[in-house]
Structure 1
Amino acid sequence: SAQDANATPIPKRDADRAFDAAACIGCGACVAACPNASAMLFTAAKAAHLSYVPQGQTERLDRALAMAQRHDEEGFGNCTNHGACQEVCPKGISVDYIARLNRDVLKGTLSKAGSASGD
């Protein structure tokens, strides 16, 4: 029989990062503080909390692509690493999650491009 996914051990470092990202309350302070009106800190935190646990790996890249696409469709600005979002975040969400989301978006884009070309 298959192992219960919720019983899969997770390294403490990954569990801590997942909980840190999940702490985002969606208050919008990051967007208000950003000179570009970017919601990347919020978007990245929402994507990251699942990307650190085994249950979130299957759809990790697709989730990152979909969330980044929705961010753009909603008309939010691009992140230029100003860092104002992190400074005002009441939960202390780190901009490191934005870098993680960007890596996942790049990996997902390359994966889809490779699949489309038959590689």
Structure 2
Amino acid sequence: MNLTLKIWRQENEKAQGKFVTYEVKDISPDSSFLEMLDILNEQLVNKIQLPIAFDHDCREGICGMCSLYINGRAHGPDEGITTCQLHMRKFSDGDIITIEPWRSRGFPIIKDLMVNRDAFDNIMQSGGYISVNTGGIPDANSIPISKENSDLSMDAAACIGCGACVATCKNSSAMLFVSAKVSQFALLPQGRTEAKIISNIARMNREFLCANFS
């Protein structure tokens, strides 16, 4: 596959950014999107040019680091995946692909496609945890939990904090992230000992609403 890539390049948060066009050739349809960017970066390094900075870690759809806005959609054209799980077979030979970082003042750009997501970490620190007593391992059935609550809690815990909800929302709201982190604990008995909801939402307001409207 031969592709034209329009990639956002920006030296840092304060610098003026712009789209830069690159051509990549002979990309395998079985390559992942990040592998395609790896190939492009290798070409740039061989030409003594700066590689494109982008976030990645596990490349298994778990960590949520690979946060890219691809052709106007968070994580690209596929459904229910992260960027690292996107494969080039979702595109066609000759396609023009526009690649951007998350667009939110709550996620300031570090460089190129990398953004600072400390806001999510701060929300988690303010209330995205529960206190537990250490000691021996309790019996698995010592605290009865209904299957409905267990399933709902597991669904909420599926949020990996990638930030796609913030990037997609026109108001850059983090409410989906906050509600998931609140629900995954609040639905279980262990999470009811602390009332963390108010502090979570207050922190979200400071991190995102203030950033977006300042």
TM-score bracket, shorter-length normalisation: 0.5 to 0.7
Q: CA deviation at 1:9?
A: 1.2
For the pair shown, which has the larger CA radius of gyration, 1 or 2? 2
Q: Could you say which residue in structure 1 is the equivalent of 2:160?
A: 25
- TM-score normalised over the length of structure 2: 0.32
Deviates more, 1:32-41 or 1:68-77: 68-77
SS of equivalent residue, structure 2 residue 209: coil
Distance 1:6 1:30 in 2: 35
2:174 touches 2:208 (CA, 8 Å); kept in 1? no
CA 55–4 in structure 1, closer or farther in 2 if over 3 Å, else same: farther
- TM-score normalised over the length of structure 1: 0.56
Aligned residue identity for 1:55: Q
Distance 2:198 2:141 in 1: 25
1:31 touches 1:39 (CA, 8 Å); kept in 2? yes
Runs of 4+ in 1 over 2 A off after TM superposition: 3-7
Tell me how large the CA RMSD over aligned residues is.
2.0
Distance 1:69 1:23 in 2: 23
Q: Could you say which residue in structure 1 is the equivalent of 2:146?
A: 11
Unaligned runs of 5+ in 1: 78-119
CA 44–6 in structure 1, closer or farther in 2 if over 3 Å, else same: farther
Indicate the structure with greater helix content.
1
Distance 1:12 1:56 in 2: 16
Q: Could you say which residue in structure 2 is the equivalent of 1:70?
A: 203
The alignment covers a number of residue pairs equal to: 73
Unaligned runs of 5+ in 2: 1-137
Candidates 162, 165, 178, aligned match of 1:43:
178
Post-superposition CA distance 1:8-42 (Å, at most 9, x none): 01000000000000110001110011011000000
Higher relative contact order (CA 8 A, sep 6+): 1
SS of equivalent residue, structure 1 residue 38: coil
2:150 touches 2:188 (CA, 8 Å); kept in 1? yes
Q: Could you say which residue in structure 2 is the equivalent of 1:56?
A: 191
Indicate the structure with greater strand content.
2
Q: CA deviation at 1:58?
A: 1.6
Q: CA deviation at 1:6?
A: 7.0
Aligned residue identity for 2:176: L
Distance 2:171 2:140 in 1: 39
Distance 2:190 2:139 in 1: 10
1:31 touches 1:37 (CA, 8 Å); kept in 2? yes
Distance 1:27 1:42 in 2: 9
1:5 touches 1:54 (CA, 8 Å); kept in 2? no
